[in-house]
Structure 1
Amino acid sequence: MSHQTLSLEQTKPFRHKVTAAWLSLVLGALGAHGWYLGRRYWYVPLVFSGLAILGGIVLQQGLDSLFPNLLILPVSAGILEAVILALRSPQNFDAIYNPQSDQHNQHGWPSVLTAVVSTVAFANISLFWLVHIIMAFYRYMGWLDLSVY
């Protein structure tokens, strides 16, 4: 009886590499991929994102305040980790996240397409945030007012 209990506690679910990469791409700012992979501090991006959103709500300064712009950090980290997870070798991924499993991840088109989509998403979101931060700086400096010229 106690032997069965020990074997059930040691059995961990099989973790798919592509699933982890898509969770990181879509919900990386909330730490969903870390929770799926069983990481110890998976909630750190969730706390950081929550504080940034809460700071924006409390200060009520809109998108020009510092707090909403801090969301670029967990969002970018999640997208970059999606690329890393998608392109990581299946043997390396299984050695870290599926050490005692009989199943193995495969490296194929789903991994490559996930990496491509993640790279395009990172480029678009990074450019959007860069333009947004520059425009907020220009508004703060008064360079967008017509009275300056």
Structure 2
Amino acid sequence: MYVVASFKLNKNLERVIAEIEYNNIDRKNILALPLAKKVDLETETSYHQKSFEILPILATILALFGLIYGFMLDLGPILVGLIGLGIGAILGGVIDVFRIKKTRKNELQKKKEPLTEVFLLVHCSNKAQAQQVKTLIWKWSPLGVATYTKQSEGNSNAQV
């Protein structure tokens, strides 16, 4: 008979394993199996690679408008274009800095999430021991607990 439990990777998992071992269940009858998570490639790219995207775009657009409308002003197209370039670079830089800070904050929040989920499999010799392990596991707030009884080669019985 097996007792299967699912935990988030945290200290409760270590505590429940220690308590199961304390209740005379041998370590070789306990299996903790962590699940691998799919790595998102978008979060793996550094924010340095995509850092300043708006700055050159906005600077180019305002420099272009400065050149176009500079013909109508007394300062001339070159000077008004350079002024537009400077204003666009400053505005684009400010927008990019706020966008990078927001991206960094979102990445930190994602890193605070638990890394993975772990399945705990405990082999019990009888139903009484399985019930004892099951109540012991429920004390440590698992995500779920089930028992599995292997009856014969083709038949099996799973209970929640």
Q: State TM-score, norm by structure 2.
A: 0.30
Q: State TM-score, norm by structure 1.
A: 0.31
Q: Which has the higher contact order (CA 8 A, sep 6+)?
A: 2
Q: Which has the higher strand share?
A: 2
